Amino acid sequence: MSNRIPLRGSHIATHHQKLGAAPPTGMMSLTLLLRRKTALKTVPTASRGSPLDRAKFADLYGMKDEDLAAVRAFAASHGLAVGDVNRAARSVRLSGSVQQIQTAFGVAIQLYKDEKGVTYRSNDAEASLPAELGTAVEHVLGLSERAVAKPHVRVAHASTGGTFTPPQLASTYQFPASTGSGQCIGIIELGGGFQTSDLQTFFGGIGVSVPTVLAIGVDGGANVPGGDPNGADPEVELDIEVAGGIAPGAKIAVYFTPNTDAGFLDAITTAIHDTTNKPDVLSISWGGPENSWTSSSLTAFDDAFQSAAVLGVTVCVAAGDNGSSDGTSGNMVDFPASSPNVLACGGTTLQVSDSTITSETVWNDGGGEATGGGISPTFPVPSYQTGLSAALTAGGKEALTGRGVPDAAGNADPQTGYAIVVDGQSTVVGGTSAVAPLWAGLIARINSLTGKNQGFINPVLSAAVSRDVTTGNNGTFAASAGWDACTGWGSPNGAALLKALGGTAAVPPAPNPAPKPTGGHKKHRS
């Protein structure tokens, strides 16, 4: 037997119940991520450099032909089938029986049961590869089929502070007048689906033309409305309706994929390198505590977001809905929002009178639902956060020792939430899930007005282009003047951001009277 090289970070310990060995004849699919031809150069920001087009990116930073040949030979030697190959993303899909996977990757596949009673297959230790593959393979995802993320959407028990439509928020936040024409907003979904009739009802109700919405399946994922027991339909419909309500002239490409690390990554890389729809902005409203991911997944996802930045694709990610703990026993940030190469979007509670903001504070309902935010234990402090510190609820400040989350914020409180249509009925929702497509729609407008993709805008963000939120906390961390670990630099000032990015445009008037989506009332769902 040849020498083998361990795949460091390909396993993470779990508290889930182990049921025993997985049946050897069951089929599995994996994603292998190969090394680049050459290392990425410095990630460009909105204020310097020009993004690469997708064809040139693939030529410069795609996989090596000899590495793909080595993987094909490895697969053939173990009876594994080679599926989709994405040269730009450097990804290769392999499939085979559990027994073939175990032999090829030097690992045992076990059955586990999670806290919801869902059974899944997963490796029980780190995998390895034959030494002859050398350093061609950087990561292997899919050895675990554990659900890695949850939607960051919250359905309101009752609306106590009024509701908002996307056009109302666009006006309130001074978004420049634009439909986002010529843009494509990519949305990543790990379950659920949308119904065309819901979109027609929603957009007709707010007086906005229905955007072009495409459903794109990745790794067997599909648009399946009404079939998700965990209630992913509100997430899908919220994302589309907010993004499309802000930028109805943009095409909306929705990438559906299984809720696994491999599926999630494949949807992201498929969208980033999609040469047909060519998304200019991505919106991601799914995530999980950073410490629940394998280190290999963290690195692979962040690598994909670096690629997006080089391509001029802005990635907006929800920061989580469980406060500074992110649902864990201590302080923890949510991933993929904690990647330093995405725009992490936190949440606020917004109060408006006659289209004028009367109050905006950190979203924290006091019952465990609050905006995510904090300091990453994994990713170092990025250059654009040098010298920043996080205000503490107990008093004082903590200097950043890692990537600070979030970067920006927007209305997220379900009690001052978004009136949307789901499964034929109107409902009010919130959560940081709403903030990612809100920012994605703003970026689409700005891209359309400036005639270029702004790409990675984090270094341009500051209190000068945001509405600073200085009141409230998310648990451990408190709002403060300037950047904080609850709302970042604050909620959007669209006109100021456009100006900082080199554009000029008028701000549209507020809808008056404010249109509302129609449909029956939808009660709370958990």
SS (H, E, C) 48-83: CCCCCCHHHHHHHHCCCHHHHHHHHHHHHHCCCEEE
Please report the pLDDT score of residue 394 as a whole number: 98
Please report the pLDDT score of residue 158 as a whole number: 62
pLDDT tens string 66-102: 999 999 999 999 999 999 999 999 999 999 999 999 9
* Residue 173 within a domain: yes
Question: Does pLDDT of 2 surpass 70?
Answer: no
Cis, peptide link before residue 513, omega less than 30° from 0: yes
Reduced to 3 DSSP states, what percent helix, strand and coil does the chain have, rounded to the nearest 5? 25, 25, 45
Retrieve residue 130's tokens: 């034959």
Please report the pLDDT score of residue 307 as a whole number: 96
**Which whole number is the average pLDDT over 250-255?**
98
**Which whole number is the average pLDDT over 165-193?**
97
Cα–Cα dist 80/282, whole Å: 33
- Residues 190 and 285 grouped into a single domain: yes
Coil vs helix vs strand at 458: helix
Please report the pLDDT score of residue 423 as a whole number: 87
**Which whole number is the average pLDDT over 371-389?**
97
Please report the pLDDT score of residue 45 as a whole number: 62
Residue in 459, 422, 510, 455 with CA at minimum distance from that of residue 153: 422
Average pLDDT over the chain, rounded to an integer: 92
- Residues 223 and 109 grouped into a single domain: no
Residue 41: CB atoms within 10 Å:
11
* Residue 463 within a domain: no
- Residues 114 and 206 grouped into a single domain: no
DSSP code, position 175: P
DSSP code, position 1: -
- Residues 105 and 187 grouped into a single domain: no
- Residues 430 and 397 grouped into a single domain: yes
CB 432 within 8 A of CB 345: yes
**Which whole number is the average pLDDT over 464-482?**
97
**Confidence band, pLDDT 50/70/90 cuts, at residue 1:** very low
Place of tokens 């083998």: 4
Select from 83, 106, 141 the last residue of a domain.
141
E strands, 142-231, are 150-151, 154-155, 184-189, 213-217
In angstroms, the Cα distances linking 223 to 192, 257, 384, 420 are: 7, 9, 38, 18
Question: Does pLDDT of 271 surpass 50?
Answer: yes
Residue-range definition of the domain harbouring residue 155: 150-450
- Residues 257 and 125 grouped into a single domain: no
pLDDT tens string 335-355: 999 999 999 999 999 999 888
Please report the pLDDT score of residue 155 as a whole number: 82
Retrieve residue 161's tokens: 């502070």
CATH number at residue 239: 3.40.50.200
Domain tally, the chain: 2
pLDDT tens string 122-171: 999 999 999 989 789 999 999 999 999 999 998 887 645 579 999 999 99
Retrieve residue 267's tokens: 């949807």
Give me the percent of the chain exceeding a pLDDT of 90. 85
* Residue 489 within a domain: no
Place of tokens 């330093």: 340
Please report the pLDDT score of residue 511 as a whole number: 52
Residue 76: CB atoms within 10 Å:
11
Retrieve residue 343's tokens: 């725009």
- List, in order, residues 6 or more apart from 377 with CB less than 8 Å away: 290, 291, 332, 402
Select from 450, 474, 504 the last residue of a domain.
450
Q: Which residues pair with 466 in a beta bridge?
A: 492
Retrieve residue 185's tokens: 């907003």
Cα–Cα dist 250/221, whole Å: 23
**Category of 24 on φ-ψ map: left (φ > 0), alpha (ψ -120 to 50) or beta:** alpha
- Residues 243 and 214 grouped into a single domain: yes
Annotated catalytic residues are: 235, 239, 433
Select from 141, 160, 181 the last residue of a domain.
141
- Residues 92 and 241 grouped into a single domain: no
* Residue 399 within a domain: yes
Residue 394: CB atoms within 10 Å:
9
pLDDT tens string 199-219: 999 999 999 999 999 999 999
| Bridging pattern class, strands 334-335 and 314-318 | unpaired
pLDDT tens string 302-327: 999 999 999 999 999 999 999 999 99
For 104-123, give one letter per residue: b (16+ CB within 10 A) or e: bbbbebbbbeeeeeeebbbb
**Confidence band, pLDDT 50/70/90 cuts, at residue 366:** confident
Please report the pLDDT score of residue 85 as a whole number: 98
DSSP code, position 430: E
CB 344 within 8 A of CB 402: no
Residue in 520, 503, 375 with CA at minimum distance from that of residue 448: 503
- Residues 159 and 131 grouped into a single domain: no
**Which whole number is the average pLDDT over 222-241?**
85
423 against 71, higher pLDDT: 71
Cα–Cα dist 14/133, whole Å: 29
Please report the pLDDT score of residue 227 as a whole number: 57
* Residue 488 within a domain: no
**Which whole number is the average pLDDT over 234-239?**
96
Residue in 26, 263, 294 with CA at minimum distance from that of residue 139: 294
Question: Does pLDDT of 42 surpass 80?
Answer: no
For 397-433, give one letter per residue: b (16+ CB within 10 A) or e: ebebebbbbbbbbbbbbbbbbbbbbbbeebbbbbbbb
Cα–Cα dist 383/404, whole Å: 11
**Confidence band, pLDDT 50/70/90 cuts, at residue 386:** very high
Question: Does pLDDT of 47 surpass 90?
Answer: no
* Residue 437 within a domain: yes
- Residues 84 and 211 grouped into a single domain: no
The alpha-carbon radius of gyration of the chain (Å, integer) is 22
Cα–Cα dist 85/31, whole Å: 10
Cα–Cα dist 192/348, whole Å: 26
Please report the pLDDT score of residue 522 as a whole number: 40
Cis, peptide link before residue 336, omega less than 30° from 0: yes
- List, in order, residues 6 or more apart from 229 with CB less than 8 Å away: none
| Bridging pattern class, strands 81-86 and 91-97 | antiparallel
Task: State CA 15 to chain mean position distance.
Answer: 26
Task: State CA 188 to chain mean position distance.
Answer: 7
Cα–Cα dist 172/492, whole Å: 10
Please report the pLDDT score of residue 355 as a whole number: 80
Cα–Cα dist 383/299, whole Å: 18
CB 342 within 8 A of CB 376: no
- Residues 286 and 172 grouped into a single domain: yes
